[in-house]
Amino acid sequence: MTEKEKMLAGELYDANYNEELFKERQEAKEICYEFNNLKPSDLKNREKLLKKLFGRTGEKIYIEPNFWCDYGYNISVGENFYMNHNCTILDAAKVEFGDNCFISPNCGFYTSGHPVDYKLRNKGYEYAKTIKIGNNVWIGGNVIVLPGVTIGDNVTIGAGSVVTKDIPSNVVAYGNPCKVIREI
């Protein structure tokens, strides 16, 4: 099994010294760099670069620069997607956004994690777990979503939250760690 196959399967893999994964990250960074340096008025090329970078997109998507990701091809966004400035998606595993998602500034979606065992961590091993965001989700500013988390439909995540566990549909949730505050 290659390191990329291990990565996509959610197993421990070596991302640091693998030529294939390094090359793919560099290609994504080049596209992000180009995207982040376009004129704000150059909407056509901004959209074109996002559609080239992402695995799947809806027709109506809008992302404000600066935006960064690891690979791009593991990112899927639905229709009517908006992401504000300074967001990062570490997409060693799939990151799936449904329709009508609104992401506030300075958010991070991190599929990647590292072993607690320092011996494995020091060898450069990491793992990646899928993140799924449902339909009609609003994520407040400075929110971090950690590996393996699913956020249901019709959810509001309050600003500054660290989402460490799944959040069910039809709720308002916030905090560190993020927890359900009330149903909608």
Catalytic residues, by residue number, are 114
Is residue 112 within 8 Å of 78, Cβ to Cβ?
no
Is the sign of the CA dihedral 80, 8, 162, 181 positive or negative?
Answer: positive
Is residue 149 within 8 Å of 163, Cβ to Cβ?
yes
User: Rounded to whole angstroms, how far apart are CA atoms 175 and 164?
Assistant: 10
User: Rounded to whole angstroms, how far apart are CA atoms 175 and 184?
Assistant: 17
The residues, any chain, with a CB within 8 Å of residue 44's CB and separated by 6 or more, are none
Question: What is the chain's alpha carbon radius of gyration, rounded to the nearest angstrom?
Answer: 16
- 149 exposed, middle or buried (CB, 10 Å; 0-12, 13-18, 19+)? buried
Q: What are residue 13's DSSP bridge partners? A: 126
And the tokens for 121? 């961590």
